[in-house]
Amino acid sequence: MRVCLFISLLIAGIIPVTGLAEPANVRTPSPVIYLADNLDESDGLGWCIDTVGRGFSDRLHAHSCKPQGGDVQFRFLDETGQIQSVAFEEKCAEVEGADVMRLFDCADKDTQRFQYDPVDMRFRRLSDPSQCLTAGADSRSAGPFMSRNLTIAQCDNEESLYQAWVVNP
């Protein structure tokens, strides 16, 4: 449904297509949150929120979306504004320090609260809407996949293709 909305908004010219390489061909089972643009992901898998390494890690990055799912599966909880891990129960994305994204116990904290705008497809911090969830501009090899940094950055300082996320519930 949200993918159809995204394509409709692109066609209508509401979402700018500046620098749009191609849409991601995400095969990860739902729920999943991924960048709308495939960017340079070499296998066309797209970019998902992911824990660093194998198994549980409190560090988050953007990673090739894995067709089998697992630690790349996250859901957005509208009622709380949290981005929650599917693989690791009761763990939520949290801003640590100035801009680092980590995975901690879900709690009633401003550092875990986001607002998702389905029109511009950005996750904005609820406590500071000028800051958005942002995938890094540079990618690197991650075994058979690829990865890039995942941070909080000023929404107006980054190209929208690094901040436009699809939420597939």
pLDDT at 117: 96
Residue 165 lies in a domain: no
Question: Which amino acid is it at 127?
Answer: S
Phi, psi of 140 (to 5 degrees): -145, 165
Overall number of domains in the chain: 1
Residue 164 lies in a domain: no
pLDDT at 46: 98
Residue 79 lies in a domain: yes
Q: What is the pLDDT along the chain (169 residues), one digit of tens a residue?
A: 444 444 444 433 444 444 556 899 999 999 999 999 999 999 999 999 999 998 899 999 999 999 999 999 999 999 999 999 999 999 999 999 989 999 999 999 999 999 999 999 999 999 999 999 999 999 999 999 999 999 999 999 888 999 999 999 9
Cα–Cα distance measured from residue 19 to residue 10, given in angstroms and rounded to the nearest whole number: 13
Domain that holds residue 113: 20-158
Residue 142 lies in a domain: yes
pLDDT at 155: 96
Terminal-residue alpha carbon distance, the chain: 10
Cα–Cα distance measured from residue 13 to residue 99, given in angstroms and rounded to the nearest whole number: 31
pLDDT at 111: 98
The pTM of the full predicted model, rounded to 2 decimals, is: 0.87
Phi, psi of 9 (to 5 degrees): -70, -35
User: What is the domain-level CATH number for residue 145?
Assistant: 2.80.10.50
